Structure 1
């Protein structure tokens, strides 16, 4: 028996406190009516079908609830709702409206064997799953655009940089293939996060399941989940479906930010090896000569915003208790949805940009000439053709590079005489490599062509890699299509079962 003198019962205050109402309850209500109405409706339907199929609720009673619950979806427009404080949250509003239609006793039966704890995590998972579907689809599209561009530009020479300096010639296709490989691993991480999200918490109730003979597997099936999440405590306490999702997002956009930064550098006036078409260029309001490829800047800061917003979700989960808690719910979920919104913009814009950029071959040729970046192959060829050690070949090549750069010359046309001098100085003899062979060895085309090992930029090696990336992209698309088809089939199954309930009323 409760103590009538307990101040919690006799303090005279009335819920909700006005400040609490405005600072907590109203924002939560508005968030629920914006983001979670559809998921909440699906959960109600699936749970009701299960209650009827297991005999926990008589079919006739379940039918009456089904008719009333369906009516709520047509009679209530969530966008027009204003929080009044008469009920605690959106859940209790729906329960109140349901009771008004079928009576308090029958209306209250829908909540048999469940809690807002398992409901909340289920609707949050449904919200994340839908957003992951779209994000993965957009990521697959970007991957496909990168692979297609890599194939189209597989022979297009570029300057590859290390430490911000020209390093070696490669091809745009080879560079983009590296992007494709990393993005593929990021997509795989999203699929793994999806697998964790795609387990149903329903049936855990508050913590420990229920004494009623519920069928958790059936509810999971009706909601399109792969299975119930096994441990009922884990259903309401674990947040790894959140941390897995946003960790995968954070990594993806951290990784994408790096080639985006390269594009910014490569489109600069001083480098200029990438040309962005006019459709993606803005001009200065005062300097008419300027072509500003600002989509790249937007990509950079939006990718960084995605990283920051995704990371904030991990920070919010840090040092929280291992139990059901508000830290992982409501407004926290809405914070994460902002990361998805920005992420989608990045993926879509980057796919469009990659498809349209072009390499400026004249600038590439000039940069190659000025930087002597084919000199590595001169060292290698000297070793192979002249029988020297690598260190000897490297020192000869370095002397040639110093001489050519000092003369502001072209390695291919101006480097042979310094090569002969350096070779004689190092070995005491004339080289077997003649001027024609030297010109071939130091050309960027030759540099690329001889690098035909696995993963290299040479045509055969790169073609083999791109073929694998295309197969991988098709596999991603098929994997996502299977997941979406499973959910569509579950939606149809739920609609059929729910409509049969309505007919039994």
Structure 2
């Protein structure tokens, strides 16, 4: 072999490269990005004409050829042959066959596969983010509705896997909802990053032609162009922000789902799942298995895994246009939307069907003495003790009641009198009737009428705020849909004008 000279008789594409890379890329574009290519070609042609870069005599036959390709080429039936490199060159080949190389080649003026690709991927993400946001808002509405319905329904709240304090199911669901609303805000913020058009960046540095990037962004339904042209083809924060938001959504929902799994267990049993969501064992006829909860858990984990994998794929890639963030990576990421959507659909029908087993809740409250915190608080307010003294008395009462398997309201007053006398050096002023009221779960909830608390007033105020926030999100989604429809109609109208259509 001599330096600088090679007897290279190979031809593109190498058969293995064709099958391992080019064919999957072509099939991915065929499956996911055909409509995006169509919109970009039409919008770019309109922009080239309206800026004077192409005359009507040049633009009109290109428009007619693009329409003919849409009408005559059945993309779904195409098989990759290697005659062209990718889907982009397939369209250009079709144009050349209809218009000749000179006129066909003018459509690519002032653009590159670099800005086309990132625009395609952003269109693909918007097409998936918007339905996901709708599902999330629907779930938020359902959580708010069920929280209001269950605002007086007692449950046992757990910390460290142990009964901790009584609250109401509506208070718990409101906590889940608050997190979901923050997650929605993160996904909306990611969508805003996605909603900036790279078109006009060309390869890296824009173009010497008098292109109109604002017009391109509008025609493609983007809110605005992404400013820096290098960033248009190099920055991937539209990918990382989207999948970071998705990862957090399903990580957080997975914790809620895990609680449902725990609360439906035989030993806890405070949540009842209707028969429509229960499967029976093939061998153990007594079992009621709420397996949809398990499916939601593993689908949430799959979604987290796919989203996290997208971030890993982007890790340590160079700040430039590169294949790591394109084609197959984009297609891989779309799986997160599919599995995540299934979780949201299932949660949306399961949550309203859940019921709290009031008898089991009361039994668990009785066995666990979880109202004893309020006894300590009440001793501070009514008897003037320090909280530490009151805590010591309450702890002694709880130990005594649990030791005999009793109920704090019925069996706790005697131990309370003794503990109080020993610690305070005097007799308590609290009567047995007052004691029973203090340690009741209803009182425990009712006195916690503070901002964010479970009492009826505080909880109603919170739910009203959540509903207002949900309405505002709905309004933003509607505005986005309206703007997208207007852009699509404007593009169609301007393209029709190029065609000469009446």
Q: Does residue 1:136 correspond to 2:133, yes or no?
A: yes
Alpha-carbon shift at residue 104 of structure 1 (Å): 1.4
Give the TM-score, by structure 2 length: 0.99
Alpha-carbon shift at residue 74 of structure 1 (Å): 1.5
CA distance in 1, matches of 2:299, 2:162: 27
The answer for the alignment partner of 1:187 in structure 2 is 184
Gaps of at least 5 residues in structure 2 are none
The answer for the alignment partner of 1:12 in structure 2 is 9
The answer for the alignment partner of 2:49 in structure 1 is 52
State which of 438, 443, 466 in structure 2 corresponds to 1:469.
466
Superposed, 1:406-445 pairs within 5 Å as: 406-445=403-442
Cα deviation digits, residues 396-417 of structure 1 (max 9, x gap)? 0001000000010000111111
State which of 15, 20, 26 in structure 2 corresponds to 1:23.
20
Alpha-carbon shift at residue 443 of structure 1 (Å): 0.4
Q: Does residue 1:451 correspond to 2:448, yes or no?
A: yes
Cα deviation digits, residues 327-386 of structure 1 (max 9, x gap)? 000000001100011111111111111111000000000000000000000010011101
The answer for the alignment partner of 1:359 in structure 2 is 356
Alpha-carbon shift at residue 71 of structure 1 (Å): 1.3
CA distance in 2, matches of 1:14, 1:462: 71
Q: Does residue 1:302 correspond to 2:299, yes or no?
A: yes
Gaps of at least 5 residues in structure 1 are none
State which of 334, 340, 362 in structure 1 corresponds to 2:337.
340
Give the TM-score, by structure 1 length: 0.98
Cα deviation digits, residues 116-147 of structure 1 (max 9, x gap)? 00000001000001101011111111111111
Q: SS where residue 210 of structure 1 aligns?
A: coil
CA distance in 2, matches of 1:411, 1:367: 12
Q: Does residue 1:400 correspond to 2:397, yes or no?
A: yes
Superposed, 1:28-427 pairs within 5 Å as: 28-427=25-424
Cα deviation digits, residues 47-68 of structure 1 (max 9, x gap)? 0000000110111211111111
CA distance in 2, matches of 1:7, 1:439: 97
CA distance in 2, matches of 1:60, 1:374: 83
CA distance in 2, matches of 1:131, 1:77: 24
CA distance in 2, matches of 1:17, 1:312: 29
Q: How many residues align?
A: 501
Alpha-carbon shift at residue 6 of structure 1 (Å): 5.0
Contact kept? 1:59, 1:504, Cα under 8 Å: no
Alpha-carbon shift at residue 172 of structure 1 (Å): 0.4
CA distance in 1, matches of 2:480, 2:57: 34
Q: SS where residue 169 of structure 1 aligns?
A: strand
Contact kept? 1:257, 1:303, Cα under 8 Å: yes
User: Considering only aligned residues, what root-mean-square deviation do their CA atoms show, in Å?
Assistant: 1.2
CA distance in 1, matches of 2:40, 2:252: 36
CA distance in 2, matches of 1:435, 1:60: 97
Contact kept? 1:118, 1:236, Cα under 8 Å: yes
Contact kept? 1:63, 1:504, Cα under 8 Å: no
CA distance in 1, matches of 2:51, 2:424: 91
CA distance in 2, matches of 1:24, 1:128: 22
Q: SS where residue 166 of structure 1 aligns?
A: strand
Alpha-carbon shift at residue 5 of structure 1 (Å): 9.2
Alpha-carbon shift at residue 428 of structure 1 (Å): 2.1
Q: SS where residue 292 of structure 1 aligns?
A: coil
